[in-house]
Copies of this chain bind each other. A is one copy, B any other.
Amino acid sequence: MKLNIAVLAGDGIGPEIMPQAIGVLNAVGKKFNHEFVYKEALCGAHAIDEVGDPFPEETFKVCMDADAVLFAAVGDPRFDNDPTLKVRPETGLLAMRKQLGLFANVRPVATFDCLLHKSPLKEEIIKGADFVVIRELTGGMYFGEKYQDNDKAYDTDIYHRHEIERILKVAFEFAMNRNKHLTVVDKANVLASSRLWRQIAQEMEPQYPEVSVDYMFIDNASMRVLTEPRFFDVIVTENTFGDILTDETSAITGSMGLQPSSSLGEHTPLFEPVHGSWPQAAGKNIANPMAMILSAAMMLEHFGLKEEGAAIRKACDDALENNIRTPEIQVEGVRSYGTKEIGEWIANRI
């Protein structure tokens, strides 16, 4: 297979972890006889500095022409203190999502037995948790009408039927391929938009008779993922609730540096680690490249390359088991490894 991959390394640790994912992909290409063609493009603070736009037209084109986008992270403390700035790395992120039509953000929440002790949750609660959160990514308050003056401000949490239907379809299909249990998270006891979500989900239920569906309020869900994470199989929710819930669920694994995600939609699919740009670590060769590498695995699996994805996952597991780890997850008394060494170890393993 030949895959054209747009490579958006972005800011902070992005330019360090991305080459590791590419090194691993090259190893996979060699072993399984695939051709991966990479095209780099600017984004984030980096792109603001170079061309004054966090998601330049040229980058958009590179993404549209590719089969898949590999994205690392954007964000820079220089832009953090003033969230009112018009041009910020995050605005580029939102533009990217909207322009590429990436309406479904898929975050698997998986634990690693050897890292369970890093979870803030008790081991007996988190052990064996394995679910996917699907967050709507191009609607809701993020993109609804906004207004602000000195005396009042508002945002509009708006959803149209077609936006809800397409994300629920993704969620039902994920459930069909997993344990057939879908939890629709909303706030239908308060919000009109949630009531429309719930109505449409109920309309769609008969199309997926094998899927057992339950409805849960977001406040309740924020507790339940802590007290009973194994309850869940597939969760689907709107953009803002998903932002909060996915960060919460990535924290409970104890291995944020290992969580990949995909964003699917109308055009080119995108694959990215759940963690951010970690600017404090930039240039230090200390960031864990595994979430980036596992994002590449998700990409291959998306194109049906199951065996190839599995090979990457296995190599990552082996790295962990052999204590080829970055400082924050290294076993006490064992020397830790750098970003590059870990990437190379995994690539060699394949």
Give the interface of A toward B (CB within 8 A).
Answer: 83-84, 88, 90, 94, 119-122, 125, 141-142, 144, 146-148, 150-161, 187-196, 198-199, 218-220, 222-223, 226-227, 240-241, 243-248, 250-252
Contact = CB atoms under 8 A, between A and B. Distances in A.
Contacts of A187: 240, 243
A156 B153 contact: no
Given A153-B192, A156-B157, 7 more contacts: A120-B122, A120-B226, A155-B157, A155-B191, A157-B157, A223-B247, A226-B248
A219 B251 CA distance: 11
A215 to B, nearest CB: 9
B160 A151 contact: yes
A194 B84 CA distance: 10
Counted per complex, copies of this chain come to 2
Given A121-B122, A219-B243, A248-B248, A154 B156 contact: yes
Contacts of A195: 83-84, 148, 153
A75 to B, nearest CB: 9
Given A121-B122, A193-B153, A195-B148, A244 B226 contact: no
B247 A155 contact: no
Contacts of A83: 188-189, 194-195, 198
5 contacts: A83-B188, A120-B226, A144-B154, A152-B196, A218-B244
Nearest to A196: B153
A223 B249 CA distance: 8
Contacts of A220: 247
Contacts of A248: 222-223, 226, 248
Contact of A250 (B152, B192, B223): B223
Nearest to A254: B227
A247 B227 CA distance: 12
Given A90-B189, A251-B226, A150 B141 contact: no
Nearest to A276: B220
A250 B241 CA distance: 18
Contact of A190 (B90, B156, B188, B251): B90
